[in-house]
Amino acid sequence: MLSEPIRFTPVQLYENEREDLIKLAHEQYKTLFRNVRFAQANGFATQVRAFARTTRATVCAETRIHATIPELVDVFLGDRTNAAIGFAQSQQIYRFLAPTDEHPYRSCGMRWSLWHSPSTLIRQRDIVYLEYMDTFVDERGRRGWARMTQSLEHRSCPPLMGSHNVVRAFLHCCGTVYTETDDPKVLEAVTYYDADTQGVPPWMTKIVANRKAKNPHNLEHLIRLEHVMKEGVNSGLRKHLNSKVCVGCNAGLPKWGRHRKCRDCCESICKSCSDVVYCAIQGRRKLNRICVHCVDDFLARTNRQLELTLPSSVSFQSDDVSTPGSLSGRFMSIDSVEVSTIGSTTRK
């Protein structure tokens, strides 16, 4: 793992460059919907194509999550952005459009992010990309919100191969489209992921693509934990006859079978909470198989900041400042794997 976070210093934009990049991002935002429709019409599963140094993976996945558009926007545009996008490190280089009273869910900017490699034999990858987020109304009159990402080259983020042994990957136009359903608390999520990992073996590229396609579920669990921290545990549900719930996120548990236990309080926790890995930033101490409430106690006892990781995403360290009394004040990131970044001539 990189010893120090990578930081870029944005250069001054050329005349009209901001407007040109906003226009490009908006055009790619519209392209995302065409890509999703094409993928759905052709029944896309995960596709991986390799040629020379190109390893391109495309996946289109549909699911439903328990969340609302305001909750999504609160995560992506609030102080937990890094906990939603799922990268080892991430930095917003420019913000071209910020939310306004007229368009509270719209944002546009340029971002740099770092992937951690799942193998010490594979160099880490980074990307520089435009991101555009806004609401929409589909052909059936349903309201939705989407986030688009598209790689670009920019002088503010030069390649890191020489300085950090990091390979620059490429994101084709991709993103996630969230659409409201008949249930006001449920969203339909369609993730279209299209990336060239620049030489990562096809089998590993496929794993990364499938993990990225699961990001909506990681986001759903993050929102659930946020609710628990703000509202507390539903004691009525906990006392229901023969009912078992996760002490961490309050999700219902199967009546029969073995359940995972929190290593601190020994109460039952669900698989999603058990799989979360909390890392103390100082000393890199890790805690897993522990509920969110016990981690909070650990934070108070040790007076350390923590970062939060999820297995189906990719790790990153947050750039955000902690806010006391919220989930972001306790956790700094969402992650799956951490690996060494020591240079090797055998790496791809």
Which domains, from first to last, does the chain contain?
17-223 (3.30.530.20), 240-330 (no CATH)
Between 150 and 56, the higher pLDDT residue: 150
- Of 146-150, 172-176, 179-183, 325-329, the poorest mean pLDDT is in 325-329
Q: What is the mean pLDDT of residues 218-243?
A: 66
Task: Give mean pLDDT, residues 43-71.
Answer: 82
Question: What is d(CA 337, CA 19) in angstroms, rounded to the nearest whole number?
Answer: 38
Share of the chain above pLDDT 90, in %: 39
DSSP, residue by residue, 271-295: HHHHH-EEEETTTT-EEES--HHHH
In 3-state terms, what secondary structure has residue 186? strand
Question: Cα(304)–Cα(259) distance, rounded to whole angstroms?
Answer: 29
> In this predicted structure, which of 57-61, 95-99, 152-156, 205-209 has the lowest mean pLDDT?
205-209
Q: Which of 131-145, 161-175, 177-191, 267-281 has the lowest mean pLDDT?
A: 267-281
Check residues 162 and 295 and name the one with the higher pLDDT: 162
Amino acid letter, residue 286: K
If pLDDT is split at 50, 70 and 90, which confidence band does 112 have? very high
Closest CA to 163 of 348, 4, 54, 284: 4
- Least confident interval from 153-162, 211-220, 325-334: 325-334
Helix (H, G, I), strand (E, B) or coil at 56: strand
| Average pLDDT value for residue range 156-180 | 95
pLDDT tens digits, one per residue of 172-199: 999 999 999 999 999 999 999 999 988 8
Write the CB contacts of 255 (distance below 8 Å, at least 6 apart in sequence): 242, 243, 244
Categorize the per-residue pLDDT at 321 as very low, low, confident or very high, splitting at 50, 70 and 90: very low
Of the ranges 18-32, 62-76, 142-156, 297-311, which one carries the lowest mean pLDDT score? 297-311
- Which tops the pLDDT comparison, 188 or 271? 188
> Which of 119-133, 183-197, 210-224 comes out lowest in average pLDDT?
210-224
Grade residue 283 by pLDDT with cuts at 50, 70 and 90: very low
Q: Which two tokens stand for residue 4?
A: 């120090």
Residue 209 pLDDT: 80
Rg (CA), the chain: 20
**What is residue 176's DSSP assignment?**
E
Q: Which of 155, 217, 152 is nearest to 11 (CA)?
A: 155
Region of poorest pLDDT, from 6-15, 56-65, 150-159, 293-302: 293-302
Mean pLDDT for 49-64 is 82
The answer on pLDDT for 265 being more than 60 is: yes
- Tell me how far apart the alpha carbons of residues 319 and 330 are, in angstroms, rounded to a whole number: 14
CB of 305 closer than 8 Å to CB of 320 = no
Starting at the edge strand that comes first in sequence, how are the strands of the sheet with 306-309 ordered? Answer: 286-288, 277-280, 306-309
- Short-list 299, 292, 231, 289, CA closest to 262: 289
- Which 8-state DSSP code applies to residue 299? H
Write down the mean pLDDT value for the chain.
78
- pLDDT tops 90 at residue 159: yes
CA dist., res. 264 & res. 318, Å (int): 26
Query: The whole model's pTM is what?
Result: 0.76
pLDDT over 80 at 81, yes or no: no
The CA-based angle 108-113-115, given to 5 degrees, is 145
Give the per-residue pLDDT at 299.
57
